Amino acid sequence: MGDIAGDLQAQIHVQEGKEANSPEHANGLRNYIWWVRMAIYSVFVLFGQSVATLLGRLYYDKGGNSKWMATLVQPAGFPVLIPFLIFLPTKHQTENNGLNNAPSRLLLGSVFALLGIFLAAVCMLYSIGLKYLPASTFSLICASELGFNAFFSYFLNSQKFTPFIVNSLVLLTISSSLVFNSDDSSEPTKASKGRYAFGFTCTVAASAGYALILSLTQLFFRKILKTESFRVALQLIIYESLIATSAILVGLFASGEWKGLNKEMDEFELGKASYVMTLFWTAVSWEAFSVGIAGLIFEVSSLFSTVISTVGLPVVPILSVFIFHDKMDIVKIVALLLAIWGFVSFIYQHYIDDLEFKNQSNEKASGVSEVSLVERVSP
């Protein structure tokens, strides 16, 4: 009996060792690390987007008037990412997606140039929209980006449409339409009805343009780079932002707005130091947002990154009421609730997809276990 008990205890220890080193244990650890990365990227997106939008509105409210400068700070913070790029390990790949099948420099340069110039145009549209719209209205209209992203993802990345996703798109479209009819077009931006309409149009166009950039970025990762290195994602942000910054600088000097920047800084209501710090932290916030977006695209999809961005939808309108004294009338409240409803509908679809995936995985695991049991019992 003692020998049998000893053998049994030894087998238990061996089994525990096998379970600790089993594929299931390794998969659980990888899933945990994956969720940690998702949480970090999501925080970057939410805080970067909210802080950058509020600081951009602060720039205009306190005396800033240059659309080109407001556009420049959106991609110009990319140098803060260079130290991270230096310390990230370089992954040497030898598989099918390795050096032999790496895309040519000409192709990479063309993609970076296309995305960079497109990004510069989108940044200008965002700047015009933020100039003529209250921060709360601007943020709510940006919710339409989710619908545009779903549309582009369907054609470029084979995104499936389900009733819940369609419901989300419809609700977000209605939400943006309601915001346009809100009666706060003259406060606090004091923009005329024509400029308000122009700002609304530019914001919608910017949302559509940025959604297209995100979908193209996912396509770029999947079809051209075919890599699993976040280092490459950072390189994409840096090169894309470098080209966008260069294009915006050309526009800044060509337009002549650079001549009035010293006067603008002198007349800034919060002082020169606050003027510089407002622009600096706006740039840093947008880069944090870009890192988070790129990480979510790299790990999941462009549509998922837009969904996380939409999570921050209520943050800016609510903070704008206290910081900039934006009106929160009944129309805007209804628009906000519809936008949240649309977001919840989209998240619920992801919840259903996750349940189906887990059920399929469990069924496969059960099938393997039954086969193994039969093999052990059979003589």
| Overall size of the chain counted in residues | 379
Whether the CA torsion 118, 120, 121, 127 is positive or negative: it is positive
CA 28 to the chain's CA centroid? 26
- Tell me the DSSP string of 143-174: THHHHHHHHHHHHHS-PPP-HHHHHHHHHHHH
Residue 91: the pLDDT is: 55
Residue 127: the pLDDT is: 93
Helix ranges restricted to H, 157-260: 163-180, 193-219, 230-255
Residue 22: the pLDDT is: 52
Helix ranges restricted to H, 2-73: 2-20, 23-61, 67-72
Question: Which positions of the chain have pLDDT values less than 70?
Answer: 1-31, 89-102, 173, 176-177, 179-191, 227-229, 310-315, 317-318, 324, 326, 347, 350-351, 354, 357-358, 360-379
Residue 19: the pLDDT is: 47
User: Using CA atoms, how far apart are residues 47 and 118, in angstroms rounded to an integer?
Assistant: 24
Question: What one-character DSSP code corresponds to residue 15?
Answer: H
- Tell me the DSSP string of 318-370: HHHHHHT-----HHHHHHHHHHHHHHHHHHHHHHHHHHHHHHHHHHHHHHHHH
Cβ contact 270:330 at 8 Å = no
Residue ranges of domains in the chain: 52-355
Which tokens go with 170? 């419809």
Residue 306: the pLDDT is: 77
Give the three-class secondary structure for 195.
helix
Whether the CA torsion 298, 302, 308, 312 is positive or negative: it is positive
- 0.85 exceeded by pTM: no
- How do residues 211-245 score in pLDDT, each as one tens digit? 999 888 888 878 887 765 677 778 888 999 999 99
Q: Return the ∠ at Cα 293 (arms to 282 and 281), rounded to 5°.
A: 10
Whether the CA torsion 36, 42, 46, 51 is positive or negative: it is positive
Residue 156: the pLDDT is: 83
User: Using CA atoms, how far apart are residues 131 and 196, in angstroms rounded to an integer?
Assistant: 9
Cβ contact 305:214 at 8 Å = yes
Q: If residue 310 lies in a helix (H) or strand (E), which one and from where to where?
A: helix 302-311
User: Using CA atoms, how far apart are residues 52 and 288, in angstroms rounded to an integer?
Assistant: 10
Backbone torsions φ then ψ of 191, nearest 5 degrees? -90, 145
User: Using CA atoms, how far apart are residues 197 and 192, in angstroms rounded to an integer?
Assistant: 9
Q: Return the ∠ at Cα 176 (arms to 128 and 131), rounded to 5°.
A: 15
